[in-house]
Structure 1
């Protein structure tokens, strides 16, 4: 199959779909929907999926996509994401040009396009750093289920055997797609992308580049341009739907029989009346006040307020409303210029469509009917803007009744926010909670006690809380910017699901299973050695390259006796003269020790000497020590021995070495466990 070269669509072109590893367009005469430039009203493209066989699209993902991704390990998939991010970084300018038609300024486009590409890099890095180079992810410690160790349990994650279908909102046509695609790809699950119609032509452009890169395995990505109303009809318990959009649409989708009864996994990120709380200490003139005002203005105007994370409720201490309104108004007047984003100096563009403009103005009118009054801005189109465009200026409403139902229930998805006052910190918490669950809140204060009271009060109602003060104001990623390292989602009205969150987002696309069996069987399934499983001795494992080494390779030392002179010498040389190692009377009075005992780190040092093969060889370096536990104290006259077993072997895809995790156990002369830990080493591949 030959991929089409990435090109900019000519006006009136029908945006094609990419399905079953080929581009597809509807037949001549198919019913289409026009998509208009947000600033000028000119037609940008047409959209239609009439005649598309979605059942075949799903089946292609489950067969071809699952097979091609299944051949790869987590690390191999993660490395492909890095390569994809590098490729897309070279075509950003073309995407910026197209993004302007959606109403996005250059800064808005950077948030969407660069932010989406950044997700690829972040998850690629975390996938290679935090996941094994295998196809099974081990979750937690082994659970002993028998006294003799012959029967144990272990939790593992394996990829779901279906497809990840993403249904996205219009506001982030690139980031919204990539932040769902990246974790599904690392998990090994193929994706079907259904973008929102008003901005789907930009999603098509980046999908076209992704395919032209030649990086993606067959069937791993399909793209549907136009209606996909019967998509869920073809899904079952093997599949996942990730939805971003309105709460009403989410409710309609969640009521589908295949979700209610058929077990289709469904996650949603929906409406959110996010709050920003100004602490009582953050008075005018403080850095916190200035940072708060800047955040409110940024969130009202970035993407013209069309962000699920935008600040909708500005919650300030009683008596400070007028000061905040004045400061916000002044900053908007100085920094916000509204118009076509292709015009020099414009800092805020239009809404994504005329329909969206109508929705925002209608919601603003409902807020006014619910008790709000305009304290900044107007419902009229901003001066100097094209009447055919979807322009709305920043609008700030004040509510005298902080508990007004409208302010906590109606979201105008645009540059609209409402300001209310609180009396006490408990009152501020209660007001934030009236939103019914939100994606994010900001708390602006430099008082740790205020921060603690507010954050702990509102945390259970939010997916993320930003604490904003003078120390992080310049480095903060901001109220409205989800980062791929942290969870994006929220309870209640916000959808009740999670996206992103580092490796957590990968695990969303996998099934956690408890496996039970003997140590040998657990080792065979997980690829990680379990205590009691078969071992191999003979050639010292430090003499083996990564190509030769196998889990279960083991070396066991003889005993070495610890003397009082050894303990004293270690205390003198290190300066660690803690009384348990130097004062016999005090040591005997300690309920944990029989008298003077050896330093734990002395025992670890000796253990290394007992298991290390000193001559140059494949082992390049010791890169760490984890999970250390001291179990039984060692007194003068006791002896120790060490058993070292290759536990997990992780080759690095781009290096000539890999990491080996060794299970280390110290015993005393009575075969009691003295200490347990994992040793990490870097070992040459050959």
Structure 2
């Protein structure tokens, strides 16, 4: 059955559209190793500018059980890959997509966006793959699972303890996405899922599904991911949820009403299947009370940008703009002046600065929402009622154009609609506030948002504002003259920052760096002996078995070293000359090291050695001076000075091979090598621990 987007079409228009249906392509679902193309119950998608039929979508007859089984039987091989293997595959796939980006820009024209708008979706999405790949290769060891914390002793003598370990869930991640970012919306979800070792099933919104289809097809063609790791359903999911189990995960981006229906699915509730939602919300921008002329311009610029970028169709776009009452008219005037310079029309035409919404259906929806908002506020610029805003297009009535629209609500405390209804387009409502108390109340009436921006004078203290609004938001963006030069802006979710929000925004989180990867993994507390922990976590645990050899560990290659291999060094007695010489060499003349009288009155009771001298002296004890497989010191982690070392104390070092991680060669001419983490324990003559830390070294390995 053909579903028409424009309910106002005439009988002739409908006849033309039905005729067009026979000539346009039907998007296939890329599932269980094949392209499945439905024949019935198809929905037509129209060009946002020309109104012409572009493609059809449908999935009737699709075998959802087979999709889930295929992911778990074939795609689950990704769980056996290490984090670095997954990250490298993602990086290669991202590079493959980047080389084909012009194909996606061409397809994006049908969604009505400008090239600048499409850049956010296309290159922003691909950039997210690169960012996550780099993050995982930099932060995680080359293992299949993640040891989350250090040894937690649970017994008196250290023979029993625990660690938390994160393992890939033995299931599938189902990602249901909105229409506004068909590429970025998918890639920002599958990146952490795949890096966690979990295969994905993606269901894009009908509008924009052609872009998602093109990217998934390209990823399949690239061959960098295992078969079954990524599947695509174009159309309805039908009974897909009924085939999921407690190891599976569902994420959703879209309207709050649809999200709530999905979240309440009886099968998801019966099996406690995690459901993460990112829903529409009435995000805010706040101009502070001490705003000067420059600050007002920054505020207006940010509101303007969020209205006109992607035609306001961003889940993070500013919907409510709070302004000190005395500045309301000024802000209104300046915003309208900027909007009057906007040219709405076909992005392929020169001079057009704002495109269309994604569909005519969406245009009608925005118009209806503006009508509801106008019950609380006055329309002062734009809306579909405004006739003097020119649309640069030969047939604007067939397209999904909606002009920038500004409303003003002068009594926001008495209003309701402006705090709960989101017109998902280039629409903003300005409203005044008198003081912080009123502002906090108005912001909270949104009942949870993805992001709020606070635009302030650079010297203004806004700590109290942040404290009041932070609980209602997933992100707070502070903008001033200093940060404006490099700020990524109000509406830009970043891979390293949490994207989501409480309450109406869905109550979920996406992105946020490694947090997102961990979301698709099971956290398990593993209890046992140090030897058991070492075996399970592939990382030596204090108290576990050690191996000693007459050959110095620094003379062994990466491949020859064993986790748990230990060196007990010679001893060194710390003298007054050591402390004086190190102070002169380093320039560190801190009284506790150099002033006998002041040191005697300190908590130490006498002069003590510099902590960094102990670290240096320890290196002198465990380093082998001869040329060998160790290439360089790569860094130091977790340094703690536990006890002071006084003049006459004798120190000794225990060096233990804690973990080994091979590194990928960036240059074929470079010698293969890996990172070895060494556990360092410096003790005094009484066996007391005086310093502990990890040393990382680059060590040559076999080809």
1:6 is aligned to none
> Which residues of 2 match residues 404-415 of structure 1 at below 5 A?
404-415=415-426
Q: Please, which of 522, 543, 552 is the counterpart of residue 540 of structure 1?
A: 552
Shift of 1:393: 0.4
Distance 1:378 1:632 in 2: 71
Q: Write out per-residue CA displacement over residues 536-564 of structure 1, whole angstroms, 9 at most, x where no aligned residue.
A: 11022111111112211111112211112
2:587 is aligned to 575
Distance 2:476 2:498 in 1: 11
Worse-matched range after superposition: 53-62 or 578-587 = 578-587
2:568 is aligned to 556
Contact residue 486 and residue 501 of structure 1 kept, 8 A: yes
Determine helix, strand or coil for the equivalent of 2:354.
coil
Contact residue 633 and residue 698 of structure 2 kept, 8 A: yes
Contact residue 620 and residue 683 of structure 1 kept, 8 A: yes
Distance 1:431 1:621 in 2: 57
User: Is 1:603 the counterpart of 2:609 in the alignment?
Assistant: no
User: Is 1:239 the counterpart of 2:224 in the alignment?
Assistant: no
Q: Please, which of 25, 38, 41 is the counterpart of residue 26 of structure 1?
A: 38
Shift of 1:446: 2.2
Determine helix, strand or coil for the equivalent of 2:45.
strand
User: Is 1:379 the counterpart of 2:379 in the alignment?
Assistant: no
1:41 is aligned to 51
Q: Write out per-residue CA displacement over residues 189-243 of structure 1, whole angstroms, 9 at most, x where no aligned residue.
A: 1010100011111111111111121212111100001111321111111100010
Shift of 1:379: 2.1
> Which residues of 2 match residues 135-146 of structure 1 at below 5 A?
135-146=144-155
Distance 2:235 2:491 in 1: 29
User: Is 1:302 the counterpart of 2:309 in the alignment?
Assistant: yes
Contact residue 594 and residue 635 of structure 1 kept, 8 A: no
Determine helix, strand or coil for the equivalent of 1:661.
strand
Worse-matched range after superposition: 218-227 or 373-382 = 373-382
Contact residue 10 and residue 44 of structure 1 kept, 8 A: no
Q: Please, which of 260, 270, 273 is the counterpart of residue 261 of structure 1?
A: 270
1:674 is aligned to 690
Distance 1:42 1:575 in 2: 75
Distance 2:527 2:268 in 1: 30
1:3 is aligned to none
Q: Please, which of 255, 259, 283 is the counterpart of residue 250 of structure 1?
A: 259
Contact residue 540 and residue 554 of structure 1 kept, 8 A: no
Contact residue 449 and residue 501 of structure 2 kept, 8 A: yes
Contact residue 306 and residue 415 of structure 1 kept, 8 A: yes
Distance 2:567 2:407 in 1: 72
1:417 is aligned to 428
User: Is 1:158 the counterpart of 2:167 in the alignment?
Assistant: yes
Distance 2:256 2:493 in 1: 20
Shift of 1:566: 1.9
Shift of 1:475: 1.0
Distance 1:566 1:45 in 2: 79
1:636 is aligned to 647
2:599 is aligned to 587
Task: Tell me: CA distance 1:73–1:358, structure 2 relative to 1, closer, same or farther (3 Å).
Answer: same
Shift of 1:431: 1.5
Shift of 1:570: 1.8
Contact residue 38 and residue 354 of structure 1 kept, 8 A: yes
Worse-matched range after superposition: 258-267 or 511-520 = 258-267
Determine helix, strand or coil for the equivalent of 2:570.
coil
2:373 is aligned to 367
> Which residues of 2 match residues 443-482 of structure 1 at below 5 A?
443-482=454-493
Contact residue 158 and residue 511 of structure 1 kept, 8 A: yes
Distance 2:347 2:588 in 1: 65
Determine helix, strand or coil for the equivalent of 1:331.
helix
Determine helix, strand or coil for the equivalent of 1:473.
helix
Distance 2:443 2:362 in 1: 26
Contact residue 451 and residue 467 of structure 1 kept, 8 A: no
User: Is 1:72 the counterpart of 2:84 in the alignment?
Assistant: no
Contact residue 248 and residue 273 of structure 2 kept, 8 A: yes
Contact residue 634 and residue 696 of structure 2 kept, 8 A: yes
2:284 is aligned to 275
Distance 1:550 1:454 in 2: 54
Distance 1:33 1:573 in 2: 77
Distance 2:461 2:427 in 1: 28
1:659 is aligned to 675
Shift of 1:301: 1.2
| Superposition CA RMSD, Å | 1.4
Q: Please, which of 647, 651, 655 is the counterpart of residue 658 of structure 2?
A: 647
Determine helix, strand or coil for the equivalent of 2:536.
helix
1:436 is aligned to 447
Determine helix, strand or coil for the equivalent of 2:374.
helix
Contact residue 151 and residue 542 of structure 2 kept, 8 A: no
Q: Write out per-residue CA displacement over residues 569-598 of structure 1, whole angstroms, 9 at most, x where no aligned residue.
A: 22222222222112222212112x141111
> Which residues of 2 match residues 201-212 of structure 1 at below 5 A?
201-212=210-221
2:25 is aligned to 13
Contact residue 197 and residue 225 of structure 1 kept, 8 A: yes
Shift of 1:140: 2.1
Distance 1:663 1:258 in 2: 48
2:356 is aligned to 350
TM-score by length of 1: 0.96
2:522 is aligned to 511
Distance 2:62 2:161 in 1: 49
Distance 2:370 2:298 in 1: 26
Determine helix, strand or coil for the equivalent of 2:346.
coil
Shift of 1:295: 0.9
Distance 1:533 1:84 in 2: 40
Shift of 1:507: 0.7
Q: Please, which of 94, 97, 111 is the counterpart of residue 106 of structure 2?
A: 97
Distance 1:168 1:174 in 2: 10
User: Is 1:392 the counterpart of 2:398 in the alignment?
Assistant: no
Task: Tell me: CA distance 1:55–1:612, structure 2 relative to 1, closer, same or farther (3 Å).
Answer: same
Shift of 1:70: 2.4
Determine helix, strand or coil for the equivalent of 1:320.
helix
Number of residue pairs matched by the alignment? 670
Worse-matched range after superposition: 208-217 or 195-204 = 208-217
Task: Tell me: CA distance 1:548–1:368, structure 2 relative to 1, closer, same or farther (3 Å).
Answer: same
Distance 1:456 1:641 in 2: 49
Worse-matched range after superposition: 145-154 or 346-355 = 346-355
Task: Tell me: CA distance 1:11–1:638, structure 2 relative to 1, closer, same or farther (3 Å).
Answer: farther
